[in-house]
Amino acid sequence: MAIMRDIAELHEPEALARLVSYRIRLVQIAAYKTFEARVSGHGPAPRYYGMLKLIEANPGVPQARLAEAIFLDRSSLVPILQELEREGWLERRAAPQDRRVRRVFLTPEGAGRLVALERAVEEHEARLTAGLSAEDLETLHRLLLRLDDNLRDVQAGRV
C-alpha cells in the first residue's frame, strides 16, 4: 500500500510547471481567495469587480457585448446580472430601438458602493504586486494583454 506524502512534499510535474494556463489558473484562484477573504460588506460584488468597472466605463453596454468582453456565455451572465440587480448595484433596461436587447447601467447607489470597493481592490493589488518594479508590472501587463488577444482570436476563429 502506497503511503501519501505530506502535502508540503507535493511534487509539481514539469509538464504542469511549464504550462502558462495552469500557472495563470493557480494565481487566479489564490488572488480571488485572498481578495474575497479581505473584502466584506459588498455582497457578491467583489467577484464581479472587473465587470462592474466595465459597466461603469460603458454605461448602457448591451448584455451580449458585456458577456463577450468577459468571456462568459450570455446564459451564464444573466443570473449574475440578476443577482447584482437585486443587490442594487445595477439595472438593466430594454434598448429603445430593440426591446430584445438589454442594456446594463450602474445605479447611483452601485456607483457609490463601487468607490468603496475600489479602495479594497487597490490594497489587494498592492499586496499582490509587492516586490515588482514598475518595469516588471509593465512587462506583466503587456504579456497578459497579449495572452488576452490570443484567446480572443481563438474564440473568434481567427487562429
What CATH number did the domain enclosing 103 receive? Answer: 1.10.10.10
> In whole angstroms, what is the distance from residue 109 CA to residue 29 CA?
29
pTM listed for this prediction: 0.82
Spatial strand order in the sheet of 98-106: 61-62, 98-106, 90-95
> In whole angstroms, what is the distance from residue 26 CA to residue 7 CA?
16
The residue segments making up the domain with residue 112 are 44-123
Longest distance between any two alpha carbons in the chain, whole Å: 69
**Would you put residue 71 in left (φ > 0), alpha (ψ -120 to 50) or beta?**
left
pLDDT at 41 > cutoff 80: no
Region 72-91: what's the mean pLDDT? 95
Residue 119, domain member (yes or no): yes
pLDDT at 52 > cutoff 90: yes
pLDDT score recorded for residue 84? 95
**Which pLDDT band, with edges at 50, 70 and 90, does 140 fall under?**
very high
> In whole angstroms, what is the distance from residue 51 CA to residue 70 CA?
7
User: Domains in the chain: how many in total?
Assistant: 1
pLDDT score recorded for residue 26? 93
Residue 134: its H or E element: helix 134-155
Residue 28, domain member (yes or no): no
Specify the range with the lowest mean pLDDT, choosing from 35-39, 55-59, 83-87. 35-39
Residue 52 exposed, middle or buried by CB count within 10 Å (0-12, 13-18, 19+): buried
pLDDT at 43 > cutoff 90: no
pLDDT score recorded for residue 6? 64
Residue 49, domain member (yes or no): yes
Reading the block at residue 152, the C-alpha cell is 480572443
Helix axes 49-57 and 108-128, enclosed angle (nearest 10): 130
Residue 65, domain member (yes or no): yes
**Which pLDDT band, with edges at 50, 70 and 90, does 125 fall under?**
very high
**Which pLDDT band, with edges at 50, 70 and 90, does 141 fall under?**
very high
